Structure 1
Amino acid sequence: MKKLQIGNVVLDNPLILAPMAGVTDLPFRLLCREQGAGLVCMEMISAKAIFFHNKNTDKLMEIDPGEQPAVLQLFGSDPEIISEMASRIEEKPFAILDINMGCPVPKVVNNGEGSALMKNPKLVEQIITKTVKAVRKPVTIKIRKGFCDNMVNAVEIAKIAEGCGASAVAVHGRTREQYYSGRADWDIIAKVKDAVSIPVIGNGDVTDGLSAKAMLEQTGCDGLMVGRAARGNPWIFKEILYYLETGRGDFKVPAKEVRETIMRHAKMALAIKGEYTAVREMRKHIGWYTAGYPNSAVLRRDINGMETFAELERAVNNILWE
């Protein structure tokens, strides 16, 4: 598998774990890196929260040597605050700084942040220009096809990013209006690839080895970003690498390994977050990990009542599963 270079950062392979709030925390990123992700993205972080010294934000910015290289993603709409906060945190051991211009969540969009930035190309230009000048590390952006069907401007925004010194652009092939519904438009990713010379990372509907190969062939993109398909499935990166190398679709994870990985994930979360938070956050992860297994529906019902780590461990050991 070919390497991918973003600025001065060289990745072992072009497979990237997308940033997902409430999902891509430190334990999950470590698991995805182990399973073959060439690059992992942290949960998006508010530039304003850094400015106001929010303690919870400090925890979100914790990075482990085992997950390197990692992307730290900022969101905001004020060029001064984003660039100044980027400079303030640059000493942290992340490899790449990404600016979120694709988040569709109403509370973000209503503040003029995330995908709302795509409605204001001039502001995009100001944010990228100031941030690139403020830091030495590579700066990238993550965008969508456009804000809505009447405003499809991913190519325009990508050209602006390149002109302002961005080192790469990730393109999700859906508009903000679509959220995550319908099919991702891979043609827009191909158009962006044709329009700029910096690396273009395709995002949207990469769910397995077959779809990964199809996106690479259809768009010519330089990298692949995997988001929702990685939830409960850190092995997707190993699966994609296996398919691209062999052309075979027979990759399978033994149920025993699934069980062991759930418990590793839970123990890492316990060590970092404490029992109360770890158990509650693991509920959704266990639901994703066990989807499709016998009795998984019963498990998902039961895990919502779990309060202690002992209950979690007992539930996981009782249901698997060959």
Structure 2
Amino acid sequence: MLNPLAIGPLTLANNLILAPMAGITNLPFRLLAREEGASLCFTEMVSVNGLVREGRKTFELLRSVPEDRPLGIQLFGDDPQLLAEGARMVEGHGDLIDINMGCPVKKVVGTGAGSALLREPAKVRAIIRETRRATRLPLTVKIRSGWACGEANFLDIAQIAEEEGCDAITLHPRSRSQMFEGHADWQQIAEMKQSVKIPVIGSGDLFTAADVTAMLAETGCDGVMVARGALGNPWIFRQALALLDGREPDAPSTGERLRAALRHLELFTELAGERVALREMRKHFSWYSHGLSGAAQFRKAVNIIEGKEALLEALHRFFAPEAP
């Protein structure tokens, strides 16, 4: 189940992938995931409208370093020509382009992008066709099972993707109407794997290394894409690699959590400056504390603390008692 994964001309060292997540998968987060074994990491989703307008903030999402490869760039939009133009513009910044056809949030689907595209198969075909013509990079799409429960059309979309030249497809087997409620129907991933010849990557409800191995075993998918399960938990990749290699995975110590949190803060500060890093890292510190005694009080504290020194003191006070 643990194998190199070929996506078009790109061959990944293994089949464990970090999903694109808005507001999360910036350069610091990607570097931490790579250090723990993720073979491919994605940028946050990038608006093609922002790219074409040459918005500085949009291009900031593409910031990378040589260690941050191979890099997937996820684009979103609803216009075939704009998506094709966006693909041309980012071609020199990454190693693979993915088109977002699964995001369920209102501000995205309200523009006709994300999972709203699942209601328009003809537009899906046009988007993939034009984007395929525009870039020589591997091209993938990430979709949900359908717009609403009872309206699953993921197999039809997968067929379109394969016919129009996609090199792989990722399925999060929930409908848009489900958002993140209920359970991901992994059986749909297995059905897709049987219906197309291109690699199928599974996503959804991957919160532990055991979940990763279970999805690979139960669905036969070619790879997995971890999203929320990596929040405050970059070790999920290391642990999954161990399980798939027949070894017992080791849980991160409290001290290791502290070191990861501090390194994350350092990398974020280098990227965005101290003020932005301190603000944005609060949510990550909360995630790093998940499952530890006193985590609820710690989360409340870090959300109101002002200043780097006070925050560092709180981090050491919370994590240090058990740190090796």
Q: Which position in structure 2 is the counterpart of 1:308?
A: 307
Letter in 2 for 1:275: E
The runs of at least 4 aligned residues of structure 1 exceeding 3 Å deviation read none
Per-residue CA deviations over 1:261-284 (Å, capped at 9, x if unaligned) read 100000111111111110110000
State the match for 2:26 in structure 1: 25
Tell me the residue number matched to 1:63.
64
Q: Which residue of 2 aligns with 1:108?
A: 108
CA contact (8 A) 1:275 1:308 kept: no
Match of residue 242 from structure 1: 242
Alignment correspondent of 2:280: 281
Residues of 1 paired with 2:65 and 2:235: CA distance?
20
Q: Secondary structure at the match of 1:221?
A: coil
Q: Deviations over 1:64-120 (max 9, x none)?
A: 21121110000000000110121122122x110000000000010111100000000
- Distance in 1, matches of 2:261 and 2:208, equals 21
TM superposition shift of 1:297? 1.4
TM-score, with structure 2 as normaliser: 0.97
Distance 2:272 2:308 in 1: 12
Q: Which stretch has the larger CA shift, 9-18 or 211-220?
A: 211-220
Tell me how far 1:296 sits from its aligned partner. Answer: 1.5
Matched, 1:126 2:138: no
SS at match of 1:174: strand
Cα distance between partner residues in 2 of 1:140 and 1:13 = 17
Q: Letter of the aligned partner of 2:145 in structure 1?
A: K
Deviation of residue 312 (structure 1)?
A: 2.1
State the AA in 2 paired with 1:224: V
Shift of 1:295: 1.9
Helix, strand or coil at the partner of 2:174: strand
Give the conservation status (yes or no) of the 8 Å contact 1:276–1:307.
no
Contact 1:193 1:220 in 2 (8 A): yes
Matches for 1:26-175 after TM superposition, within 5 Å: 26-92=27-93, 94-175=94-175
1:130-161 Cα offsets, whole Å, 9 max, x none, are 00100110110000011111310111001100
Give the count of matched residue pairs.
Answer: 320
With the length of structure 1 as denominator, give the TM-score of the two structures: 0.97
Which residue number in structure 2 is paired with residue 204 of structure 1?
A: 204
Tell me which amino acid in the other structure corresponds to 2:146.
Answer: G
SS state of the match for residue 87, structure 2? Answer: helix
Matched AA of 2:239: E
> Equivalent residue of 1:74, what SS?
strand
- Give SS of 1:72's match: strand
* Counterpart amino acid of residue 26 in structure 1: L
CA displacement at 1:207 relative to structure 2: 1.8
Q: Which amino acid aligns with 1:296?
A: A
Query: C-alpha offsets along residues 151-182 of structure 1, whole Å, 9 cap, x if unaligned?
Result: 10111001100100000000001111111111
- Root-mean-square deviation (Å): 1.0
Q: Which moved more, 1:312-321 or 1:233-242?
A: 312-321
**2:224 equivalent in structure 1:** 224
CA contact (8 A) 2:206 2:228 kept: no
Q: 1:247: how far off?
A: 5.6
Cα deviation digits, residues 182-208 of structure 1 (max 9, x gap): 110011111111110000000011222
Kindly provide the amino acid, as one letter, of the partner of residue 130 in structure 1. Answer: E
Segment of structure 1 superposing worse, 232-241 or 298-307: 298-307
Q: Which consecutive residues of structure 2, in runs of 5 or more, have no partner in the other structure?
A: none
User: Which residue does the alignment assign to 1:270?
Assistant: 269
Structure 1 contact 280–307 (Cα < 8 Å) conserved = no
Q: What amino acid is aligned across from residue 311 of structure 1 in structure 2?
A: A
**2:15 is equivalent to residue 6 of structure 1:** no
